[in-house]
Structure 1
């Protein structure tokens, strides 16, 4: 697992003088680092440049000064910028180089993004799974990473829509499990944290049910 210092040392060696700022978000600032967590980092560069790919680093690249603008006015050089990212950076983000950014934005922007993302990003995949589910054996195992992504991702959006707070995947799973204790969501949280929990198509079916309940909860 690469550290922020190691990553910046690598960039400085290859691109001396170009990295003006670096800011952590994601699991490292949300107290949810697990064995396969990436280094989620936003890098500000002094001029347009292509950063070398590094295993274990999920990097968004912007020109220096971009983090003082509304997210809708920023075109990243690499990666994606969203109102949720901007909120993380201005609230819980950790600056490891440069000045702490202001990342201007509103709670309404964040909520609107989360609502739209549930429909545009997540719903098509769940609708496809709904179609193929009858042909699957509920006892069959399922790829862990895929299931944790689809099982916990929508819960994060649900919590942010309801409260404005951005939480980790694990915490979102805990909150969703408390709201809907009949679903085996805590199995996904335990698996994410390293427990040997067999994950099956039945868990994927529960993730679909969770998604449907989330959609109902945020639209009623």
Structure 2
């Protein structure tokens, strides 16, 4: 599992003097690190350059100063940036190099992004999932817990981890075996079956009906 320090040392050796800022988000700051968690990090460069890739690092790259602008005014050098990312960076993100960013944005921006993502990404994905007899366990985790995060953010404005979103969805719909997904995320030996895939589809339909 890659640490921020290891990743910065890797970059500094290959791009000396260019890494002006580094900001961690995702599972590391949301208390949900599991065995296969990537390092989610935003890198600020003092000049445009191509970052060398490193297994286990999920990276968005921007020019230094970009994190002081609204997300819609920034074109990343690499990776994806969203209003949800901006909110994480300004609220729970951990700055490991440089100045803590302001990442200006509004709750309305975050909600609109989440609602659009439910349709533009997740609905299209579930249209395919519905006709699949089964999926590998890690894919069931992805489709089962991902929409729950959006559901919670749309309702409350809060950004939570996959595991926490699963716990909240399980409390809302206790008839679905969502806690099994949370357990499997934390312990890969917990089995997931086609019944969990069907429950994930049902959960998605209920989320769409509610929000």
CA distance in 2, matches of 1:207, 1:43: 34
CA distance in 2, matches of 1:195, 1:189: 10
Unaligned runs of 5+ residues in structure 1 are: none
Q: How does 1:2-17 map to 2 (within 5 A)?
A: 2-17=2-17
**1:171 and 2:157 equivalent?**
no
Q: How does 1:33-72 map to 2 (within 5 A)?
A: 33-72=33-72
Q: How does 1:71-86 map to 2 (within 5 A)?
A: 71-86=71-86
Q: 1:196, CA displacement in angstroms?
A: 2.3
**1:146 and 2:178 equivalent?**
no
CA distance in 2, matches of 1:93, 1:66: 16
User: Cα deviations across residues 48-97 of structure 1 (Å, max 9, x unaligned)?
Assistant: 10100000000000000000000000000010000000000000000000
CA distance in 1, matches of 2:38, 2:83: 20
SS at match of 1:29: helix
**1:207 and 2:190 equivalent?**
no
Q: 1:194, CA displacement in angstroms?
A: 1.1
Which position in structure 2 is the counterpart of 1:159? Answer: 152
Q: 1:201, CA displacement in angstroms?
A: 1.3
CA distance in 2, matches of 1:195, 1:72: 38
CA distance in 1, matches of 2:52, 2:136: 29
- RMSD of Structure 2 on Structure 1 (CA): 0.9
Structure 1: 4+ residue segments shifted above 6 A: none
SS at match of 1:207: helix
* TM-score scaled by length of structure 1: 0.94
- Number of residues paired by the alignment? 211
Q: How does 1:130-145 map to 2 (within 5 A)?
A: 130=130, 132-133=131-132, 136=133, 142-145=135-138
User: Cα deviations across residues 2-61 of structure 1 (Å, max 9, x unaligned)?
Assistant: 110010001001100000000000000000000000000000001110100000000000
SS at match of 1:158: helix
